[in-house]
Amino acid sequence: MYITDIDTKMKFLHGFSNKSRVLILESIKEEEKTVSQIIDELGISQSSISQHLACLRGCGLIVGRQEGKYMYYRVRNKLVRDLLTNFDTVLEDIHENVHGCQNHIDEKEADHVG
Amino acid sequence: MYITDIDTKMKFLHGFSNKSRVLILESIKEEEKTVSQIIDELGISQSSISQHLACLRGCGLIVGRQEGKYMYYRVRNKLVRDLLTNFDTVLEDIHENVHGCQNHIDEKEADHVG
DNA sequence: CTGTCATATTAGATTGTGCTAATATGACTT
DNA sequence: AAGTCATATTAGCACAATCTAATATGACAG
């Protein structure tokens, strides 16, 4: 089996390391959408969405097609779609064991522990 | 299908967002190892490895078991293992389209483009 | 060819992350 | 109980990532 080098892998995985990006991926997982639709749906600023879309393109996770003045984005292919589904499958199984990575636990959350 | 909330999902995905963590996961994907073994294998500092292991535990991705003064870590279960394999499967398919997220392209890489 | 709408890009401020160095804990040995 | 080895924790710095605000581009309508 061909093993892609770790740096390429990290660039790819970077796509999943931010909440806005993951929400975008989920939003366009099953159907392509215009940038405006994504903005409206997620309530994230135009600039931020645009930057994240550029990022996701660079990660190889999504593709865009222009139609007039609209830009339609969708998840690249079935493999990526299946990977997104796989996240949910694993999470369903292990979610009770997910407590967050040390440095991430901020006041808000620390409060309602116990 | 039960959908885990996005914040839990992000805590989980955080495990894959760092090179050292991904290397650790790959290292213990098929067999459990002691912390020392991982340190030797990856050549990353003891402190750093220990912090990443704590992080991966918090992400629910790995489990540890103590045996005397040694701590053995392994990937939690087959589902997580399969997810790691899935990364490689997708990458094999899309790696030509992975160019990195804008903000990430630093001098070193920018040089040997073209 | 001017205005408008959709999207992209840039700069700068703010926040988050990961490293190193130092120190702490806890198990086992003598 | 003192020493040693394996691992964990903490603090602080350096750097990376993300957001906002402002501006730019490019397509189409009039």
Domain ranges of chain B: 6-99
Q: Would you state the pLDDT for residue B111?
A: 37
Q: What band does B3 get if pLDDT is binned at 50, 70 and 90? A: low
pLDDT at A89: 97
Per the prediction, chain B carries an average pLDDT of 90
- Positive/negative CA dihedral, B51, B31, A87, B105: positive
- pTM for the full predicted model: 0.90
Which parts of chain B are beta strand (E)? 33-34, 62-67, 70-75
**Contact criterion met (CB below 8 Å) for A15 and A54:** no
Condensed to tens digits (0 to 9), the pLDDT of residues A26-42 reads 999 999 999 999 999 99
Choose between B72 and B101: higher pLDDT.
B72
- Residue A18, pLDDT > 60, answer yes
Average pLDDT (B48-59) is 98
CB proximity B45 to A under 8 Å: no
Residue with tokens 């340190």: B39
Q: What average pLDDT does this structure show over A75-101?
A: 96
Q: What is d(CA A56, CA B78) in angstroms, rounded to the nearest whole number?
A: 28
Q: What is the pLDDT of residue A103?
A: 62
Amino acid occupying residue B87: F
Does position A79 have pLDDT exceeding 60, yes or no? yes
Give the chain A residue nearest B10 (alpha carbons): A19
Tracing tokens 């940038």 back to the chain, one arrives at: A35
Residue B80 contacts A, CB cutoff 8 Å: yes
| pLDDT at B107 exceeding the cut of 80 | no
pLDDT mean across residues, chain A: 90
Contact B16, A16 (CB under 8 A): yes
B87 close to B95: Cβ distance less than 8 angstroms: no
Of A9, A10, A90, the CB nearest to B79: A90
* Phi, psi for B106 (deg, rounded to 5): -100, 175
Cβ of residue B103 lies below 7 Å from strand C: no
B62-93 confidence digits (pLDDT tens): 999 999 999 999 999 999 999 999 999 999 99
Q: Is the CB of B11 under 7 A from strand C?
A: no
Q: Per the CB < 8 Å rule, is B4 touching A92?
A: yes
Task: Out of 1.10.10.10, 1.10.3330.10, 1.20.58.2030, 3.20.20.70, select the CATH number for domain B6-99.
Answer: 1.10.10.10
Question: Which nucleotide has the shortest C1'-to-CA distance from B44?
Answer: C19
Query: Residue A102's pLDDT is what?
Result: 73
pLDDT for res B101: 87
Q: Phi and psi of B93, rounded to 5°?
A: -80, -40
User: Do A24 and A53 contact (CB within 8 A), yes or no?
Assistant: yes
Mean pLDDT of A73-97: 97
**Calpha distance B16→A40 (Å, rounded):** 29
Q: Does B105 score more than 60 pLDDT?
A: no
Asked whether residue A67 carries a pLDDT value surpassing 50, the answer given is yes
| Whole-number pLDDT of residue A3 | 55
According to DSSP H, which parts of A1-114 are helical?
Answer: 6-14, 19-27, 35-42, 46-58, 78-94, 107-111
- Count the neighbouring beta carbons within 10 Å of the beta carbon of residue A61: 27
